[in-house]
Amino acid sequence: MWALRVPATPGARVPGVGRLAFLGPHATFTEQALRSLPEARDAEFVPCAGSPAVLEAVRRGEVDAGCVPIENSVEGAVGAVLDGLVGDPPLVIVREALVAVRFAVMARPGTVTADVRRVGSHPHAVAQTRGWLSAHLPAAEVLLTSSTSEAAAQVARGDLDAAVAAPLAAEQHGLDVIVDDVADNPGAVTRFVLLAPPAPPPDPTGRDRTTFAATTRNVPGSLLGLLTELAMRGIDLTRIESRPIKDRHAEYWFHIDCTGHVAEPAMGEALAALHRRCDRVRFLGSFPRAGNGVPADGSGDPAAPLGGSGHAEFAAAQQWVDGLRAGSAS
């Protein structure tokens, strides 16, 4: 059984960050997200071909931390990242960033839309521009690439006629933007996370997110019991995703985000209860929620806690129980 991995003493930041991996090549949305983080100052950026490669680079110690996309407001979670997070050795999230996604169609200079026969992009970008591509490039073959910037690189090499990517990729690869802002859902946001080996999490800020994954026995009420441990302590659930356990048929990891920090009494108590109740729990980090004003997946102000579930109430209740154990009558 995998034990709950929770650092004993919160407070530290990512130590000695010097090399940071990201979903490459350069000029991806992931690099844009990484550059917005304080850990990126003066760091060496290491592009990787795919999110799984970023996670492996961190696990092998080739880099100090890695940045990957984890969720899009239109297409939902990035399955490969969720699956990678429950692998070994463990990794934890230490920071997140939100990036408003803007797509452009780019091609080699002199190309017009009528010339485009092969257009490529990352699967999430294709999903978010499928309507535009169907309406404006109906005869073009749509090909999938490991990243939006890689699609732009393939255009520059002559392997594709056009790419759907961030406008920055056009500058990076010497391409012309032939159509700008082509998303089917304007205002889409992608959430990115910075991953590192386990260490004490950042200090609580009052606007934190805790992420974990858990498995339960496949019996009636098992998932309800898991969620009840959060609800009864006034913890606001902001996301839940199920992912199949690759080597166990019809069994699933439940990936859960909620407001709060492992250093806070309610969250610590809930995680301890889940460790007792669940088959396996993987703690994936407590970290500041991104607060750049971009409205994303429940990243606004949390709901007011239920009565009796504030930090002071938990502390008073624990003091009362300690008194009972010491022989107090009330």
Mean pLDDT of 30-35: 94
At residue 15 the predicted structure's pLDDT band, cuts being 50, 70 and 90, is very low
CATH 3.40.190.10, applies to 104-180 = yes
More confident residue, 228 or 297: 228
How much of the chain is in helix, strand and coil states, percent to nearest 5?
30, 30, 45
pLDDT value at 235 more than 60: yes
Mean pLDDT of 163-178: 95
Q: Point out the least confidently predicted range of 119-123, 301-305, 312-316, 325-329.
A: 301-305
Asked whether the beta carbons of 78 and 157 are under 8 A apart, the reply is no
CA proximity to 145, closest of 23, 243, 260, 10 = 23
User: How do the domains of the chain map onto residue ranges?
Assistant: 19-100+189-288, 104-180
pLDDT value at 307 more than 80: no
Ranges assigned E (strand) in the chain:
19-23, 44-48, 65-72, 76-77, 92-100, 104-107, 118-121, 141-144, 162-165, 176-180, 189-196, 208-215, 237-244, 252-259, 280-288
pLDDT in tens, 253-286: 999 999 999 999 999 999 999 999 899 999 999 9
CB atoms within 10 A of CB 65: 26
Query: Is 104-180 the same fold as 19-100+189-288?
Result: yes
More confident residue, 140 or 16: 140
Q: Using CA atoms in the order 57, 10, 77, 60, what is the torsion angle rounded to 10 degrees?
A: 10
CA proximity to 291, closest of 264, 259, 266 = 259
pLDDT in tens, 91-115: 999 999 999 989 999 999 999 999 9
pLDDT value at 47 more than 70: yes
The pTM of the full predicted model, rounded to 2 decimals, is: 0.81
Q: Calculate what percentage of the chain has a pLDDT beyond 70.
A: 85
Bond into 89 cis (ω within 30): yes
- Counting Cβ atoms within 10 Å, is residue 97 exposed (0-12), middle (13-18) or buried (19+)? buried
Fold of 19-100+189-288: D-Maltodextrin-Binding Protein; domain 2 (3.40.190)
